[in-house]
Chains A and B, each alone.
Chain A
Amino acid sequence: MSTATTATAGTAEPDPGRPRASFADVLRSEWTKIITVPSTFWTLLAGSLVVIGFSVLWAFAFTSTYDQLSPDARADVAPTSPMQIAFYFGMVIFGVLGVLVVTAEYTTGMMRTSLTAVPRRPVYLAAKALVLGGVVLVVGEAVSFLSFFLSQAVLATKDISGSLGDPGVLRAVAGGGVYLALIALMALGIGVIVRHTAGAVVVVFIVLFVLGIVGGFLPGQWGETVAKYLPSNAGSAILVPVEQSGVLPPWQGLAVFALYTAVVCAAALAVFQSRDA
């Protein structure tokens, strides 16, 4: 064993003049972390394939049944309808990525190594959230636009396609990527709180998927109002080009979802700060 540890002459005690790690350093580290595990690639690929694939499939479903639809039902078909449904099925997978980036650290013990390197926990969590949010935003936008264009190609066969120039469509499609990024962040918060992968994924699934379905069964006026504010119903309002009854206005819906995300992340930060690692 050589002693060559690039001996810093007279290493005795930490020198207060030594460089401080900056937030950019921590960001860079989190970026390297997220791109150097295979699970990131696979979850993003799975999420993308499901959303894009389902968008196309549902576009086919619409075109093949369009002739049998009543005029009322036809009026409800928007160019973004296929991707709305596809998002409902695929969004949980982006949530899984948000869960994994943190629960994988807990279950492997990497969390302790990470917090030894970055002991200021809000800094660590903020860098993780920014990188995750950034990655999912970019991929999510690509997925959203691809879903839109591919489904339009199918819808065009029945002349029911739209374009980004139609009222509210660009906002709906661009908003889809933002929605996915928020989903990942909310899942990150849930992952921090729950710490176990399976448990956190179940919570994400219930919050995003099950609650949305339960909302559909709530009775009366009161039920309809509550249903509008359920997380996935509020969030997916951004995918609706023109305001619809039973759905919050697009921006308001996304804002409600962002608020939920902020609350979950604030709670996550609070427990993360106070808990032993």
Chain B
Amino acid sequence: MIQARGLTKRYGHRTAVDHADFTVRPGHVTGFLGPNGAGKSTTMRMILGLDRPTSGDVTVGGRRYPELGAPLREVGALLDAKAVHPGRSARNHLRCLAQSNGIPERRVDEVLALVGLESVAGKPSRGFSLGMGQRLGIAAALLGDPPVLMFDEPVNGLDPEGILWIRNLMRNLAAEGRTVFVSSHLMSEMALTADHLVVIGRGRILADTGMRDFIDANATSHVLVRTPQAGHLGPLLAARDWRVEVEADQALRVYGASADQIGDVAADHGFRLHELSPVQPSLEEAFMQLTGDTVEYHAGGPARPAAGSGDGPPAAGGGLPQAPPPPPPTIGDDLHGGGHRA
């Protein structure tokens, strides 16, 4: 269990982490989600005692990191995959770490096998690819068989196979009852791996909640309706106090109504429906709504959808929006704006 209380870090005048309170519990993959520069790495360095908090504190299993007797047996961390001496072999790198914490040296070969690096274990890590370096970092994290694991942006620069491998590894570690804390600025990655979320923006903790709860609390599900008579059905639905948005292709997004209700209205008035599908909001939508004005960095595109997707109640009795809203922005991500079809 990782517990932060009022954790704050200032670099000069810049506040990197601002009174962060959160708890990371065992048995889950807890995603640490926030855009670049939000303070994720700084928080993780403070957890590991590398950076000293300006104020507040953070404990692992109830103790501050430097007080841990054999820290690698209690916390495994992957901060930066390149944090190894390039002239030292992978095996020797792990041997140094094992010895420093009184970990039996046979464990070195176990973790090398676990991450699939046996064949290059004797080679200097200078020649390692990014993926191999990442695996070596993970081997080091697993060395002490620790109950708490932390990974800072572990999938950055990995190929799809490596990403899948890490994702499964983290899930398995959590399933074994361990505490798994993984940071990412990639929405899709978080949506696939984490079941609990700590969301950070500009150093502030914006949410500390379950993945589903987070999405439900911060984005609304809606129903996608396709009909050749959108121009007629749309105003009819809007007249019932349901918020209606029109897509460029004349598809309607209806908020505040169930598919059954919409289907009934359409049938009562004799409209043809070509599609009627409930849409679950995506993590991305929820995130954008929450952080709309805390996000510092966007990979292009407008900061948030223009009209109609505010978190306020749908405009009562409002007509159709004048123009279709621009597609929601993406944060270097492959999720499309409409979320997952349920």
Contacts and interface: CB of A to CB of B under 8 A. Distances in A.
A109 B83 contact: yes
Contacts of A39: 87
A215 B175 CA distance: 68
Given A36-B88, A119-B49, A14 B148 contact: yes
Nearest to A32: B96
A112 interface: yes
A5 B63 CA distance: 24
Given A36-B89, A119-B49, A109 B80 contact: yes
A1 B72 contact: no
A120 B69 CA distance: 10
A13 B168 CA distance: 22
A11 interface: yes
5 contacts: A13-B147, A28-B100, A33-B85, A37-B88, A115-B50
A129 to B, nearest CB: 15
Contacts of B177: 10-12
Contacts of A19: 69-70, 73, 102
Nearest to B99: A29
B264 interface: no
Interface in A193-210: none
A116 interface: yes
A218 interface: no
Contact of B85 (A13, A25, A37, A116): A37
A41 to B, nearest CB: 10
Contacts of B205: none
Contact of A18 (B69, B110, B178): B69
A259 interface: no
A70 interface: no
Q: Chain B contact residues (Cβ within 8 angstroms of A): what range?
A: 35 or more
Nearest to B60: A14
B1 A29 contact: no
A20 B144 CA distance: 12
Contacts of A221: none
Given A32-B96, A116-B79, A119-B66, 10 more contacts: A11-B145, A19-B70, A19-B102, A32-B92, A109-B82, A112-B83, A113-B83, A116-B71, A119-B49, A119-B68
A277 interface: yes
A3 interface: yes
A121 to B, nearest CB: 8
Nearest to B125: A108
A275 to B, nearest CB: 9
A20 to B, nearest CB: 3
Contacts of B176: 3, 5, 7, 11
Interface in B68-119: 68-75, 77, 79-80, 82-89, 92, 95-97, 99-102, 107, 110, 114
A56 B112 CA distance: 48
A120 B165 CA distance: 34
B69 A21 contact: yes
> Which residue of A12, A32, A114, A116 has the most chain B CB atoms within 10 A of its CB atom?
A116
Contacts of A2: 114
Contact of A1 (B62, B110, B165): B165
Contacts of A14: 60-63, 68, 73-74, 147-148
Contacts of B147: 8, 11-14
Interface residues of A, number: 47
A119 B69 contact: no
Contact of A117 (B100, B114, B142): B100
Contact of B96 (A12, A36, A38): A36
Contacts of A111: 83
A26 B145 CA distance: 19
Interface string B35-65: 0000000000100111110000000111101
B172 interface: yes
Contacts of B99: 25, 28-29, 32
B65 to A, nearest CB: 6
Contact of B61 (A13, A108, A117, A277): A13
Contacts of B52: 274, 276
B173 interface: yes
Contacts of A115: 48-50
Contact of B86 (A13, A108, A113): A108
Nearest to B64: A119
Contacts of A214: none
B51 A276 contact: yes
B26 interface: yes
A25 B100 contact: yes
B194 interface: no
Contact of A112 (B1, B66, B80): B80
A109 B65 CA distance: 19
Contact of A110 (B84, B89, B172): B84
A28 B92 CA distance: 12
A117 B87 contact: no
Nearest to B115: A1
Contacts of B70: 18-21
A26 B100 contact: yes
B169 interface: yes
Nearest to B141: A116
B1 to A, nearest CB: 6
Q: Which 3 A-B pairs have the closest CB atoms?
A: A20-B69, A109-B83, A29-B100
A118 interface: yes
A22 B100 CA distance: 8
Contacts of B75: 116
A6 interface: yes
Nearest to A110: B85
